[in-house]
Amino acid sequence: MKIRTTGNSTENLSETAIQLWFQLSRAYHVQLKSYSQFLKKWNFTISQLELLVKVGGNEHVSQKQLAEMMFFTKGNITQLIIKMEKEGYLNREQNWKTKYILLTQKGRAVYEQMIPEQRQFFLKRFKGLSIKEQKQFLQLLKKLDNQ
């Protein structure tokens, strides 16, 4: 990205970038707080729900694959799996050197109830944006991700 240096343009670009950063940060924290409140119904954290969704959406997923999908370390994913296993949502299945993670009956029931409610939650959070604006926003966020 080239930063123009004529007159006040560098200063204006810098000020806009700062405003963007703070607005993005603020929006993220507001959304995160709202989402955490939503998850309290099930007594789940965001990481627990993400794990439940990843396992529920993939029939045969290994512990290693989960760590990669969720950008977790081996230690972090192991601790999260152990916690959810103790709560009765997941089972681990060893196949030679690979550990596969499966939903229990309880985990499947919560997954099937939670996913439609999660979709409704997201629909409500973005109802102020048209579908065109949502797609544009998504493209802009992906563009930021690829820098």
Instruction: Please give the residue range of the domain that contains residue 121.
Output: 43-145
Q: Measured between alpha carbons, how far is 68 from 52 in angstroms, rounded to an integer?
A: 15
66 occurs within a structural domain = yes
Establish if 8 belongs to a structural domain.
no
Q: Model-level pTM? A: 0.77
CB of 82 closer than 8 Å to CB of 71? no
Q: Are 56 and 115 in contact (CB under 8 A)?
A: yes
For the chain, how many structural domains are there in total? 1
For residue 35, being part of any structural domain is answered with: no
- Residue 122 resides in a domain: yes
pLDDT along the chain (147 residues), means of 10: 55 85 94 93 92 90 92 92 96 91 96 94 94 95 87
Cβ distance 106 to 88 under 8 Å?
yes
Distances (CA, A) of 142 to 44, 69, 75, 108, 124: 27, 17, 28, 31, 22
In the block, which residue shows the tokens 């995160």? Answer: 32
In a domain, 15, yes or no: no
In a domain, 38, yes or no: no
Domain for residue 10, yes or no? no
CATH number, position 123: 1.10.10.10
